[in-house]
Amino acid sequence: MISRYVFGTMIETEAILQKPEQAQGPLPFLAADEDNMSFTYEMGDSDIVYGLGENVRGINKRGWIYTSMCSDNPHHHEDSHSLYGAHNFFLVDGKEQFGVFIDYPGIITFDVGYTRSSQLKIKASDWNLEVYVITGTDLKDIVKQFRHLIGRSYIAPLWAFGYGQSRWSYMNEEEVREVVRNHREAGIPLDSVYLDIDYMVRYEDFTINEEVFPDFAAFNQEMKEQNIHLVPIIDAGVKLEEGYQVCEEGLEKGYFCKKEDGSPFVAAVWPGKALFPDMLNPKAREWFGNQYKFLLDQGVEGFWNDMNEPAIFYTEDRLNAVMEQLDEFKGKNLDTHEFWRFTGLISGLSNNPEDYKCFYHDINGEKVRHDRVHNLFGYNMTRAAGEAFERLEPEKRILMFSRSSYTGMHRYGGIWQGDNKSWWSHILMSMKMMPSLNMCGYLYTGADIGGFSCDTTEDLVLRWLAFGIFTPLMRNHSAMGTRRQEAYRFEKLDGFRHIITMRYRLLPYLYSEYMKAALRDEMMFRPLAFDYPEDKFAAKVEDQLLVGDGIMIAPVYTQNADGRYVYLPEQMKLVRFREDGSMEEEILEAGHHYVEIPLTDVVFFLRPDHLIPMSRGGRCVEDVDFEHPETIAFVKTEAFYEYYHDGGYEKDYENPEHITWIRMDQSGRIR
């Protein structure tokens, strides 16, 4: 059951399209303190709090403060309070069981037992918000109700489930060709190459630098013939430059965010000084969405939206003010405090919260200061694209994922988990985020495999891939200046080929599970507790996940390890694919196990009376035979599998012909 409580007058987020009637009476579970603008829940000692989407720390969020404030934060450290998304949904499981979604476009904080270990305290910046309280038969049911409330998740095209290779940046055609050629020659499957900011002219959105991509449409076609999709990046900021058409048109139409005095708000991002399309203004949004046509027309079928928190390197006004202030330090004997003040001026230039109070949106004629709706910006940039794709390419599924997000955006695109690091701990962080993001509707998601910033190591990439083969978005991406990490550059080539090929072998299962989760408002990645609610130990497991209906995974995320401990809530079949292509199966009893997992093995666990459809792999998604799945199974009495398989590109999702039932009995026969 979903009850909607209204406090004040919320600036509409359009997170929820069909709102239930407003409930009367006091909020259940949460004590509302209007003076403090806070809600409090008294947790039991063993209560677990799930949710909050994209955030650091555990699957169980207890013991930290999380702030929904979309942030360009490249340091996903344990003490981070905010990443790129704002996902105000959580689930309490313990003495009581309920879900809460707080629809609120501004900055809001969730103190989950940080200040006082027994208190969950929610504090918004003002008191204009709507609270949805959801109860149900179990955790999965509550999530399903929430997901139904917020609408169907974005569905990616099938090719986007292939392996993608990215780098900031592949600088020209030849470099892209080389990446593709090296994968093909090494027998490492590949379906996409991502173009980071350097494909553009001076970082100008919706331009192609013809010096390095002289005929982009032809090149795109050349790549497609090799079953490679090029996926260009789109930034939120539009370069301020005379003669640059997007800039001039936007200025002319008044579609950029403005300062209080009505002049355009100028802040620097990649192109230097830039303007920010008013994504919250429906007309500006439509206009911005239409710009994607420039690339769609050249055959592009996928994009990633970046910098849309929005990130700000500096504002024109603040930089000028700081430059003035720097003078006063000249020639002085700076003591330490003066020195910190001096360096603080510089470090405070980027993403300064005060700057988010300096510009305004035009929301249906109302002038709204940005900070009040900060968390809606990236959402509406991606919505601009998604709505445009529906207009411009209604028959096609276009790949779209974003860095920033708010609930509602999940209908228009996925997200990647942002600018992580080549740290072992970030494998685990990514794992923990998967179910939290699934809860909030982000099914098409994954981390930058191998790590974005910092230098990676071969074993880190291998271990990360062995997890990444399960995430719908499977992309290897890394930053300028860091060690190159394309799979073919390393020594253990057979291992890389094997692990990445396993992705393609698992695709019939993974795609089927993804589609069912999307169409039924379910989670593809689940903590163990969601499927084994009676198992108290399962509730504490933070490093294993259920993937779809039939599989449990337990990735290795520590360096120099040969294996790891795995908890089995019930008897399961360990399935191991070795580098030489051989498969081993072993039935393990419920309980604790130490499982050896050499560096290039792929290991997962099949649940009893489950089977999964697999393929023989391929060089690319196009090669994969979805029509005649092979199966691996753990049948004790009988296993059924509801196999969802469509063409992967059309949109008749509900067509019953996409469903086939596979049944296996004890003898191993398929019916």
Q: Are 382 and 400 in contact (CB under 8 A)?
A: yes
Q: Which helix (H) or strand (E) holds 305?
A: strand 302-306
Contact pick of 421, 497, 607, 610 for a second copy (by CB under 8 A): 421
* Closer residue to a second copy in complex, CB, 150/312: 312
64 binding a second copy? (CB under 8 A):
yes
Separation of alpha carbons 478 and 160, rounded Å: 19
CB 591 to a second copy: min, Å: 9
Q: How many CB atoms lie within 10 A of CB 491?
A: 8
Q: Are 65 and 82 in contact (CB under 8 A)?
A: no
* Closer residue to a second copy in complex, CB, 274/624: 274
Q: Are 56 and 76 in contact (CB under 8 A)?
A: yes
Contact pick of 78, 242, 534, 652 for a second copy (by CB under 8 A): 78
Site size for a second copy, by CB under 8 A?
A: 65
For 254, residues 6+ apart whose C-beta sits below 8 A from its C-beta are 362
SS3 573: strand
CB 235 to a second copy: min, Å: 11
Q: How many CB atoms lie within 10 A of CB 641?
A: 22
* Closer residue to a second copy in complex, CB, 11/541: 541
* Closer residue to a second copy in complex, CB, 267/639: 267
Residues pairing with 553 in the sheet: 545
* Closer residue to a second copy in complex, CB, 12/317: 317
Separation of alpha carbons 408 and 124, rounded Å: 19
Which positions from 559 to 578 touch a second copy by CB under 8 A, shown as an x/- string?
A: xxxx--x-x-----------
Residues numbered 187 to 246 that lie near a second copy (CB under 8 A) are: 203
Residues pairing with 524 in the sheet: none
Give the alpha-carbon dihedral of 114, 117, 120, 124, to 10 degrees.
-30
Separation of alpha carbons 42 and 34, rounded Å: 17
Q: Which two tokens stand for residue 210?
A: 């013809």
* Closer residue to a second copy in complex, CB, 410/593: 593
Which positions from 615 to 644 touch a second copy by CB under 8 A, shown as an x/- string?
A: ------------------------------
* Closer residue to a second copy in complex, CB, 21/79: 79
109 binding a second copy? (CB under 8 A):
no
Residues pairing with 610 in the sheet: 634
In angstroms, what is the C-alpha Rg of the chain? 25
Contact pick of 4, 57, 183, 497 for a second copy (by CB under 8 A): 57
Q: Could you tell me the CA-to-CA distances from 571 to 539, 589, 607, 608 in Å, in that order?
A: 17, 4, 7, 7
Residues numbered 256 to 285 that lie near a second copy (CB under 8 A) are: 268-273
Contact pick of 211, 225, 261, 335 for a second copy (by CB under 8 A): 335
Q: Which helix (H) or strand (E) holds 311?
A: none
Residues numbered 477 to 516 that lie near a second copy (CB under 8 A) are: 491-492
19 binding a second copy? (CB under 8 A):
no
Which positions from 128 to 167 touch a second copy by CB under 8 A, shown as an x/- string?
A: ----------------------------------------
* Closer residue to a second copy in complex, CB, 170/314: 314
Helices 316-327 and 336-347: angle between axes, nearest 10 degrees: 160
Separation of alpha carbons 369 and 283, rounded Å: 18
For 213, residues 6+ apart whose C-beta sits below 8 A from its C-beta are 172, 173, 199, 219
CB 430 to a second copy: min, Å: 15
Contact pick of 21, 35, 79, 580 for a second copy (by CB under 8 A): 79
Q: Are 9 and 128 in contact (CB under 8 A)?
A: yes
Part of the chain binding a second copy (CB under 8 A), chosen from 31-39, 323-331, 472-480, 569-577? 323-331
12: left (phi over 0), alpha (psi -120 to 50) or beta: beta
User: Exposed/middle/buried for 611, CB within 10 Å: 0-12, 13-18, 19+?
Assistant: buried
Part of the chain binding a second copy (CB under 8 A), chosen from 142-150, 357-365, 423-431, 612-620? 423-431
Residues numbered 435 to 474 that lie near a second copy (CB under 8 A) are: 454-455, 457-460
Residues of this chain that interact with a second copy (CB under 8 A) are 48, 57-58, 60, 62-64, 77-79, 114, 116-117, 203, 268-273, 313-314, 319, 323, 326, 329-331, 333-336, 338-339, 342-343, 346-347, 349, 421-425, 454-455, 457-460, 491-492, 537, 540, 542, 558-562, 565, 567, 592-594
